Amino acid sequence: MIWKDDGHHVEVLVYDAEKIRETLMKRDGMSHDEAREYIEFNIEGAYVGPDTPILVWTQDEFGWDDDVPLEGI
């Protein structure tokens, strides 16, 4: 992926956070919520320099409130 930051192009990796969560659940026996918390604390919260990867939550509904209209977000 090419990401524009202040006019410069930087290549960074993009990971599917759902796949990481699935792996943690299968490999380590974590629950859905445990895997989410692990990712938030140990992966999303880590800065490893300008090449820090991006995590994309493609199917996540964690903390989503269906009663809030999109324009209210």
Band (pLDDT 50/70/90 cuts) for residue 69 is low
**CA of 28: how far to CAs of 20, 43, 45, 49, 59, in Å?**
11, 16, 20, 28, 21
- The predicted pLDDT at position 60 comes to 62
Q: Looking at the domain assignment, is residue 62 inside a domain?
A: no
Q: Looking at the domain assignment, is residue 22 inside a domain?
A: yes
- The predicted pLDDT at position 33 comes to 93
Tell me the C-alpha distance between 16 and 58, whole Å.
7
Number of domains into which the chain is organized: 1
Between residues 20 and 13, which one has the greater pLDDT? 20
| Domain membership of residue 36 as a residue range | 18-54
Q: Looking at the domain assignment, is residue 8 inside a domain?
A: no
Q: Looking at the domain assignment, is residue 32 inside a domain?
A: yes
Question: What pLDDT, in 10s, does the model give residues 17-68?
Answer: 999 999 999 999 999 999 999 999 999 988 988 788 889 988 866 555 555 5
Tell me the C-alpha distance between 73 and 71, whole Å.
6
Q: Looking at the domain assignment, is residue 65 inside a domain?
A: no
pTM: 0.68
Q: Looking at the domain assignment, is residue 46 inside a domain?
A: yes
Tell me the C-alpha distance between 29 and 44, whole Å.
20
What are the beta bridge partners of residue 56?
16
Q: Looking at the domain assignment, is residue 67 inside a domain?
A: no
